[in-house]
Amino acid sequence: MASETNLNAGIEEGVRRRDFINIAAVSFAGVGAVAVVLPLVNQMNPSADVLALSSTEIDISAIETGQAIKTSWRKQPVFVRNLTATEIAAANKVPLSELRDPQTLAERTKVGKENWLITLGVCTHLGCVPLGAAEGEPRGDFGGYFCPCHGSHYDTAARIRKGPAPKNLVVPPYEFTSDTAVTIG
C-alpha cells in the first residue's frame, strides 16, 4: 500500500487519472439519475386521454337573450351567456381604470357576437364554480356571477369587481362554426 502511494506520487502530479475517473463516473451516474427522474415527473402531467377531451361542440340555438347555460370543457365548467342589451351597456359603461383586471367586453367576445359571453365557470381565486348561470341563483353585486366560496363578485362581462379573486373569469379559446354552434378548444 505504502509503496503504491509512493509509486503514484512519483508518476503523477496535480490531477490524477483516478480523480478524473471519479468525477467522470459520478457525473455520468448523476446524468443517468436525472434522465430517470424526467419520466417519473412527467408521468404526472395530463395523460393523452385527458388531453383528448380538449375540444367541445356546443349548440347555442336554444339560449334565449338573458339566459345562460353551463357546459363542460376539459372537465371544467363553461358558462355560455346570451347577454341582454342592458347587460352589454352596463359592461361598456365601466371605465377600465376601475377594473382589477382591465379588459373591455369587446376583448372578451367575438366581433359581431358581443352578446355571446363564453367563459370558464371556474373562479380565478381557488377554483369554485361561481353562481349566476342558472335561473334564480344570486348574481352578486355587479349582476354577473358570484362565487360563494370566498365571496368574489363578477360583473356582466364576467370581470372581477370585488372579493379575493385576482383575474376575470377566463375566456377559453373558441370559435363560431355557424350562427348556432360554437367549438371550444
> Which residues form the interface with other proteins (CB under 8 A)?
41, 44-47, 50, 70, 72, 74-77, 100, 121-122, 124-129, 147-151, 163-166
Assess whether 150 carries a catalytic annotation: yes
Of residues 108 and 125, the one with the C-beta less far from other proteins: 125
Least separation in angstroms between residue 153's CB and other proteins is: 12
Provide the 8-state DSSP code for 13.
-
Round to whole Å and give the CA distance between 88 and 108.
12
CB closer to other proteins out of 124 and 156: 124
Residue among 150, 167, 175, 181 flagged as catalytic: 150
Question: Among residues 80, 85, 124, which one has the least CA distance to residue 101?
Answer: 124
* 85-120 burial: b if 16+ Cβ within 10 Å, else e: eebbebbeebeeeebeeeeebeebbeeeebbbbbbb
For the bound state, the minimum distance from the C-beta of residue 42 to other proteins, rounded and expressed in Å, comes to 9
Pick 12 or 141: Cβ nearer other proteins: 141
Rounded Cα–Cα distance for residues 84 and 71 (Å): 20
Three-state DSSP class for residue 145: strand
Active site residues per annotation: 150
